[in-house]
């Protein structure tokens, strides 16, 4: 598969600088680019590679300034990172025809009581249980388990080994990563007088709205009552734990190894770094940014605030505190010197 720089520029609706007839056949990292590759530059940390890369085409931001000549043909776009995402999507689709055919493998099991839409692919050893519904164009890869009364929307992709348990709802155009479990029991136990714990039945479900992406080996617990909800457009990384009755707002992104405790409500357009821990029954305001490895133990009421640390507090205040902390040894020496001078004055 080859494309000219002009074809690629038209596809991205960009502005071309250089040879419009040069051909590219695959994407590559800018530091590894060779003739026939298309690369991108979105982070200024990598600008030096723009002068040395052997790639044929380089996608850059419209306002990118170069201090040296660049050999590659340039395509200037509004957002280079978004542009390369479009290129990768197109490349993947054309390379493998979306990776599957619209067929149901004979080794899969589909209940007679289930409903399967048009142009659905169901892979080897996948299980579709009673009363489950699978929407048009959805792809279910091998060894996926779909529980009773589960509803899956249109054009969703569920990767190998994923488990979606009874009564959960998955929207349209979602991606569920390999090994992810949606609808496992929430962690609910009532302490007893004798020191034991009585399990609290988890009778709710999980609702995943449209255009949500959930990475590999993430777990989302069903609600004790009602629903655990992942709102539309949210993006969850691999290895995340979402507890019962949590709500994740629209277009919120959460990085790997974060844990959200029960009944916490996270607003829309939040950005949560890796290994963040959030205790239960909190409310996190829209637009909140939480730095990696932070621990949040209180409500976040102010929208678009930034937090860091454990316990987490205002990012700017934390940075100022760290400046002071680094100067503590020097400040201690100054205090000792001042104390010595005071003692001399007192003894005169």
Instruction: Tell how far CA 296 is from the center of its chain.
Output: 19
Q: Which residues pair with 146 in a beta bridge?
A: 128, 164
Q: Which of 124, 244, 281, 347 is catalytic?
A: 244
Q: Based on the residue annotation, tell me whether 244 is a catalytic residue of this protein.
A: yes
The three state secondary structure string of the chain is CCEEHHHHHHHHCCEEECCCCCEECEECCHHHCCCCEEEEECCHHHHHHHHHCCCCEEEEECCCCCCCCCCCEEEEECCHHHHHHHHHHHHHHHHHHHHCCCCECCCCEECCCCEECCCCEECCCCEECCCCEECCCCEECCCCEECCCCEECCCCEECCCCEECCCCEECCCCEECCCCEEEECCCCEEECCCCCEEECCCCCEEEECCCCEECCCCEEECCCCCEEEECCCCEECCCCEECCCCEECCCCEECCCCEECCCCEECCCCEECCCCEECCCCEECCCCEECCCCEECCCECCCCCEEECCCCEEHHHHHHHHHHHHCHHHHHHHHHHHHHHHHHHHCC
Helix 80-96, helix 5-12: angle, nearest 10: 110
Do strands 73-77 and 15-17 pair parallel, antiparallel, or not at all (unpaired)?
A: antiparallel
Contacting residues for 267 by C-beta, under 8 A, at least 6 apart:
249, 252, 283, 284, 285, 286, 287, 288, 303
Which residues are known to be catalytic?
A: 244
């Amino acid at each position: 598969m080859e494309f000219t720089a002009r074809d690629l520029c038209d596809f991205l609706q960009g502005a071309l600088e250089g040879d419009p007839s040069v051909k590219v056949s695959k994407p590559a990292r800018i530091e590894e680019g060779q003739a026939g590759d298309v690369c991108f530059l979105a982070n200024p940390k990598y600008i030096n590679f723009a002068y040395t890369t052997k790639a044929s085409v380089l996608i850059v931001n419209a306002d990118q300034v170069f201090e040296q000549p660049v050999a590659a043909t340039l395509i200037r776009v509004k957002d280079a990172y978004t542009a390369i995402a479009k290129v990768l999507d197109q490349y993947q689709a054309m390379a493998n025809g979306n990776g599957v055919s619209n067929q149901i493998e004979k080794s899969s099991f589909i209940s007679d009581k289930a409903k399967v839409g048009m142009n659905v692919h169901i892979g080897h050893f996948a299980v579709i249980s009673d009363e489950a519904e699978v929407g048009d164009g959805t792809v279910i890869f091998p060894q996926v388990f779909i529980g009773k009364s589960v509803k899956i929307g249109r054009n969703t992709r569920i990767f190998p080994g994923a488990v979606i348990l009874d009564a959960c709802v998955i929207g349209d155009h979602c991606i569920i990563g390999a090994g992810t479990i949606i609808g496992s029991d929430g962690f609910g136990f009532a302490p007893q007088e004798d020191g034991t714990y009585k399990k609290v039945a988890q009778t709710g479900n999980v609702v995943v709205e449209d255009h949500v992406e959930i990475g590999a080996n993430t777990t989302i617990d069903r609600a004790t009552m009602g629903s655990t909800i992942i709102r539309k457009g949210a993006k969850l990384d691999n290895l995340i734990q979402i507890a019962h009755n949590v709500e994740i707002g629209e277009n919120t992104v959460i990085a790997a190894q974060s844990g959200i405790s029960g009944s916490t409500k996270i607003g829309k357009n939040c950005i949560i770094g890796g290994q963040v821990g959030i205790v239960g029954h909190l409310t996190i305001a829209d637009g909140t940014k939480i730095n990696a490895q932070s621990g949040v133990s209180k409500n976040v009421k102010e929208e678009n605030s930034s937090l860091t640390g454990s316990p987490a507090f205002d990012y700017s205040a934390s940075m100022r505190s760290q400046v002071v902390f680094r100067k503590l040894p020097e400040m201690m020496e100054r205090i000792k010197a001042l104390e010595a001078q005071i003692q001399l004055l007192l003894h005169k």
